[in-house]
Homo-oligomer: A and B are copies of this chain.
Protein backbone atom coordinates (compact mmCIF):
# COMPACT_ATOMS: atom_id res chain seq x y z
CA UNK A 1 0.00 0.00 0.00
CA UNK A 2 3.11 2.19 0.07
CA UNK A 3 4.25 4.78 2.61
CA UNK A 4 1.56 6.97 4.13
CA UNK A 5 2.58 10.61 4.76
CA UNK A 6 2.45 11.71 8.43
CA UNK A 7 0.00 14.47 7.58
CA UNK A 8 -2.37 12.36 5.47
CA UNK A 9 -5.91 13.20 6.64
CA UNK A 10 -6.90 9.51 6.63
CA UNK A 11 -3.62 8.18 8.03
CA UNK A 12 -5.19 6.27 10.95
CA UNK A 13 -7.63 4.56 8.61
CA UNK A 14 -4.89 3.61 6.12
CA UNK A 15 -2.58 2.28 8.86
CA UNK A 16 -5.44 0.18 10.26
CA UNK A 17 -6.07 -1.22 6.80
CA UNK A 18 -2.38 -2.13 6.42
CA UNK A 19 -2.38 -3.91 9.82
CA UNK A 20 -5.26 -6.07 8.61
CA UNK A 21 -3.58 -6.82 5.28
CA UNK A 22 -0.48 -7.96 7.21
CA UNK A 23 -2.52 -10.04 9.67
CA UNK A 24 -4.37 -11.71 6.79
CA UNK A 25 -1.01 -12.64 5.25
CA UNK A 26 -0.08 -14.24 8.60
CA UNK A 27 -3.26 -16.33 8.52
CA UNK A 28 -4.84 -14.64 11.54
CA UNK A 29 -8.06 -13.59 9.80
CA UNK A 30 -11.00 -15.36 8.17
CA UNK A 31 -11.46 -14.90 4.41
CA UNK A 32 -14.26 -12.44 4.87
CA UNK A 33 -12.52 -10.34 7.54
CA UNK A 34 -11.23 -7.81 5.02
CA UNK A 35 -14.68 -7.45 3.48
CA UNK A 36 -16.15 -6.83 6.93
CA UNK A 37 -13.51 -4.18 7.55
CA UNK A 38 -14.31 -2.50 4.25
CA UNK A 39 -17.97 -2.30 5.19
CA UNK A 40 -16.93 -0.65 8.43
CA UNK A 41 -14.71 1.83 6.56
CA UNK A 42 -17.68 2.93 4.47
CA UNK A 43 -19.86 3.60 7.50
CA UNK A 44 -17.00 5.33 9.31
CA UNK A 45 -16.57 7.58 6.28
CA UNK A 46 -20.25 8.55 6.56
CA UNK A 47 -19.68 9.20 10.28
CA UNK A 48 -16.74 11.52 9.42
CA UNK A 49 -14.32 9.11 11.14
CA UNK A 50 -15.01 10.71 14.51
CA UNK A 51 -16.60 9.49 17.74
CA UNK A 52 -20.01 11.14 18.03
CA UNK A 53 -21.55 12.48 21.23
CA UNK A 54 -24.06 9.63 21.24
CA UNK A 55 -21.22 7.11 20.85
CA UNK A 56 -19.53 8.71 23.88
CA UNK A 57 -22.75 8.18 25.85
CA UNK A 58 -22.77 4.52 24.78
CA UNK A 59 -19.11 4.12 25.76
CA UNK A 60 -19.89 5.51 29.25
CA UNK A 61 -22.79 3.08 29.56
CA UNK A 62 -20.56 0.17 28.52
CA UNK A 63 -17.91 1.23 31.05
CA UNK A 64 -20.53 1.40 33.81
CA UNK A 65 -21.94 -2.03 32.95
CA UNK A 66 -18.50 -3.69 32.77
CA UNK A 67 -17.57 -2.24 36.17
CA UNK A 68 -20.91 -3.26 37.74
CA UNK A 69 -20.87 -6.80 36.32
CA UNK A 70 -20.34 -9.90 38.41
CA UNK A 71 -18.56 -11.86 35.65
CA UNK A 72 -17.61 -9.50 32.82
CA UNK A 73 -15.65 -10.78 29.84
CA UNK A 74 -14.27 -9.20 26.66
CA UNK A 75 -14.74 -11.46 23.63
CA UNK A 76 -12.43 -10.72 20.67
CA UNK A 77 -12.11 -11.88 17.07
CA UNK A 78 -9.22 -11.42 14.64
CA UNK A 79 -10.06 -7.91 13.49
CA UNK A 80 -10.52 -6.75 17.08
CA UNK A 81 -7.16 -8.17 18.21
CA UNK A 82 -5.37 -6.54 15.28
CA UNK A 83 -7.09 -3.16 15.56
CA UNK A 84 -7.59 -2.77 19.30
CA UNK A 85 -5.91 -5.66 21.14
CA UNK A 86 -3.56 -3.59 23.32
CA UNK A 87 -6.25 -1.09 24.27
CA UNK A 88 -8.68 -3.84 25.27
CA UNK A 89 -6.00 -5.52 27.39
CA UNK A 90 -5.66 -2.20 29.24
CA UNK A 91 -9.46 -2.10 29.67
CA UNK A 92 -9.45 -5.70 30.94
CA UNK A 93 -6.65 -4.89 33.40
CA UNK A 94 -8.62 -1.96 34.85
CA UNK A 95 -11.95 -3.84 34.93
CA UNK A 96 -10.27 -7.02 36.19
CA UNK A 97 -11.82 -9.34 33.63
CA UNK A 98 -10.62 -12.05 31.23
CA UNK A 99 -10.41 -11.85 27.44
CA UNK A 100 -11.71 -14.71 25.30
CA UNK A 101 -10.70 -15.30 21.69
CA UNK A 102 -13.99 -16.40 20.15
CA UNK A 103 -14.31 -16.77 16.38
CA UNK A 104 -17.30 -17.13 14.09
CA UNK A 105 -15.18 -19.11 11.60
CA UNK A 106 -13.32 -21.03 14.30
CA UNK A 107 -10.11 -22.92 13.50
CA UNK A 108 -7.59 -24.10 16.12
CA UNK A 109 -4.77 -22.43 14.16
CA UNK A 110 -6.35 -19.00 14.19
CA UNK A 111 -7.38 -19.24 17.86
CA UNK A 112 -3.78 -20.15 18.79
CA UNK A 113 -2.30 -17.46 16.55
CA UNK A 114 -4.55 -14.80 18.06
CA UNK A 115 -3.83 -15.97 21.63
CA UNK A 116 -0.10 -15.67 20.82
CA UNK A 117 -0.62 -12.17 19.45
CA UNK A 118 -2.63 -11.17 22.55
CA UNK A 119 0.03 -12.61 24.82
CA UNK A 120 2.69 -10.49 23.09
CA UNK A 121 0.43 -7.45 23.35
CA UNK A 122 -0.08 -8.15 27.07
CA UNK A 123 3.72 -8.17 27.60
CA UNK A 124 4.00 -4.81 25.84
CA UNK A 125 1.18 -3.30 27.89
CA UNK A 126 2.54 -4.72 31.19
CA UNK A 127 5.84 -2.93 30.60
CA UNK A 128 4.14 0.47 30.18
CA UNK A 129 3.33 3.09 32.79
CA UNK A 130 -0.19 2.77 34.17
CA UNK A 131 -2.96 4.78 32.47
CA UNK A 132 -3.24 8.34 33.75
CA UNK A 133 -5.53 8.47 36.78
CA UNK A 134 -5.25 4.75 37.58
CA UNK A 135 -3.60 3.73 40.85
CA UNK A 136 -2.14 0.36 41.76
CA UNK A 137 0.40 -2.16 40.49
CA UNK A 138 -0.06 -1.91 36.72
CA UNK A 139 2.20 -4.81 35.80
CA UNK A 140 0.36 -7.10 38.19
CA UNK A 141 -3.04 -5.94 36.93
CA UNK A 142 -2.05 -6.58 33.32
CA UNK A 143 -0.41 -9.93 34.02
CA UNK A 144 -3.64 -10.96 35.77
CA UNK A 145 -5.67 -10.62 32.56
CA UNK A 146 -6.47 -14.25 31.74
CA UNK A 147 -6.61 -15.16 28.04
CA UNK A 148 -9.18 -17.83 27.17
CA UNK A 149 -9.92 -19.49 23.86
CA UNK A 150 -8.05 -22.75 23.39
CA UNK A 151 -10.51 -24.88 25.29
CA UNK A 152 -14.06 -24.31 24.11
CA UNK A 153 -16.04 -26.90 26.03
CA UNK A 154 -19.18 -24.77 26.43
CA UNK A 155 -21.86 -24.02 23.83
CA UNK A 156 -23.94 -20.88 23.37
CA UNK A 157 -27.56 -22.18 23.43
CA UNK A 158 -29.46 -21.84 20.15
CA UNK A 159 -26.41 -22.06 17.86
CA UNK A 160 -24.96 -25.06 16.05
CA UNK A 161 -21.49 -26.13 15.00
CA UNK A 162 -18.15 -24.38 15.61
CA UNK A 163 -19.78 -20.97 15.90
CA UNK A 164 -21.57 -22.08 19.08
CA UNK A 165 -18.37 -22.89 20.96
CA UNK A 166 -17.09 -20.82 23.85
CA UNK A 167 -15.16 -21.17 27.11
CA UNK A 168 -17.16 -22.02 30.22
CA UNK A 169 -15.10 -19.68 32.41
CA UNK A 170 -15.26 -16.93 29.81
CA UNK A 171 -18.44 -16.27 27.85
CA UNK A 172 -20.07 -19.35 29.39
CA UNK A 173 -20.42 -17.92 32.90
CA UNK A 174 -20.41 -14.22 31.99
CA UNK A 175 -23.30 -11.95 32.86
CA UNK A 176 -21.90 -9.08 30.75
CA UNK A 177 -20.03 -9.61 27.47
CA UNK A 178 -18.24 -6.83 25.61
CA UNK A 179 -17.99 -8.26 22.12
CA UNK A 180 -16.88 -5.76 19.47
CA UNK A 181 -17.60 -6.69 15.84
CA UNK A 182 -20.01 -9.55 16.57
CA UNK A 183 -22.21 -11.46 14.14
CA UNK A 184 -25.99 -10.95 14.30
CA UNK A 185 -26.95 -14.57 15.04
CA UNK A 186 -24.48 -14.83 17.86
CA UNK A 187 -25.44 -11.49 19.32
CA UNK A 188 -29.06 -12.63 19.36
CA UNK A 189 -28.14 -15.98 20.97
CA UNK A 190 -26.10 -14.29 23.70
CA UNK A 191 -28.98 -11.92 24.49
CA UNK A 192 -31.38 -14.89 24.51
CA UNK A 193 -29.04 -16.62 26.98
CA UNK A 194 -29.76 -13.77 29.41
CA UNK A 195 -26.48 -11.92 29.05
CA UNK A 196 -25.98 -8.21 28.60
CA UNK A 197 -24.30 -7.88 25.21
CA UNK A 198 -22.23 -4.74 24.63
CA UNK A 199 -21.07 -4.30 21.02
CA UNK A 200 -19.06 -1.94 18.84
CA UNK A 201 -20.45 -1.75 15.30
CA UNK A 202 -20.09 0.97 12.67
CA UNK A 203 -23.32 -0.06 10.95
CA UNK A 204 -26.28 1.20 12.99
CA UNK A 205 -28.56 -0.85 10.70
CA UNK A 206 -26.89 -4.22 11.33
CA UNK A 207 -28.76 -6.92 13.17
CA UNK A 208 -26.00 -6.94 15.76
CA UNK A 209 -26.51 -3.23 16.40
CA UNK A 210 -30.25 -3.69 16.73
CA UNK A 211 -30.09 -6.83 18.92
CA UNK A 212 -27.42 -5.67 21.39
CA UNK A 213 -28.08 -4.36 24.88
CA UNK A 214 -25.76 -1.41 24.26
CA UNK A 215 -24.34 -0.53 20.83
CA UNK A 216 -21.33 1.75 20.44
CA UNK A 217 -21.55 3.01 16.83
CA UNK A 218 -17.87 3.81 16.42
CA UNK A 219 -14.59 2.46 15.06
CA UNK A 220 -13.22 -0.18 17.44
CA UNK A 221 -9.81 1.36 18.17
CA UNK A 222 -11.20 4.85 18.77
CA UNK A 223 -13.98 3.41 20.95
CA UNK A 224 -11.53 1.26 22.93
CA UNK A 225 -9.30 4.26 23.75
CA UNK A 226 -12.26 6.22 25.03
CA UNK A 227 -13.56 3.18 26.91
CA UNK A 228 -10.22 2.95 28.72
CA UNK A 229 -10.59 6.56 29.95
CA UNK A 230 -14.10 5.83 31.15
CA UNK A 231 -13.28 2.65 33.09
CA UNK A 232 -10.28 4.41 34.67
CA UNK A 233 -12.41 7.34 35.83
CA UNK A 234 -15.05 4.82 36.92
CA UNK A 235 -17.56 7.48 37.90
CA UNK A 236 -20.59 6.18 36.02
CA UNK A 237 -23.45 3.82 36.94
CA UNK A 238 -25.59 1.70 34.60
CA UNK A 239 -28.69 3.55 33.40
CA UNK A 240 -32.02 2.62 31.84
CA UNK A 241 -30.34 2.56 28.42
CA UNK A 242 -32.39 3.35 25.31
CA UNK A 243 -30.41 1.62 22.58
CA UNK A 244 -32.85 2.51 19.79
CA UNK A 245 -32.30 6.19 20.56
CA UNK A 246 -28.53 5.69 20.27
CA UNK A 247 -28.90 4.01 16.89
CA UNK A 248 -31.25 6.73 15.71
CA UNK A 249 -28.66 9.34 16.63
CA UNK A 250 -26.04 7.56 14.50
CA UNK A 251 -28.46 7.26 11.59
CA UNK A 252 -29.17 10.96 11.90
CA UNK A 253 -25.47 11.71 11.46
CA UNK A 254 -25.27 9.50 8.36
CA UNK A 255 -28.39 11.08 6.97
CA UNK A 256 -27.13 14.62 7.58
CA UNK A 257 -23.75 13.76 6.02
CA UNK A 258 -25.52 12.49 2.92
CA UNK A 259 -27.64 15.60 2.61
CA UNK A 260 -24.76 18.01 3.30
CA UNK A 261 -22.22 16.32 1.05
CA UNK A 262 -23.17 17.84 -2.26
CA UNK A 263 -24.49 21.11 -0.91
CA UNK A 264 -20.94 21.94 0.23
CA UNK A 265 -21.66 21.35 3.93
* A interface residues, Cβ below 8 angstroms from B: 1, 17, 20-21, 24-25, 31-32, 34-43, 45-46, 203-205, 244, 247-248, 251-252, 254-255, 257-259, 261-262
CB pair A251 B262 closer than 8 Å: yes
Q: Is the interface of A mostly helix, strand, loop or mixed?
A: helix
Give how many copies assemble into the complex: 2
Contacts of A259 in B (CB 8 A): 251, 255
CB pair A32 B21 closer than 8 Å: yes
Contacts of A34 in B (CB 8 A): 32, 34-35, 38
Contacts of A21 in B (CB 8 A): 31-32
Contacts of A262 in B (CB 8 A): 244, 247-248, 251
Contacts of A20 in B (CB 8 A): 35
Closest beta carbon of chain B to A128's beta carbon, Å: 30
Contacts of A1 in B (CB 8 A): 31-32
Contacts of A25 in B (CB 8 A): 31
Contacts of A17 in B (CB 8 A): 32, 35
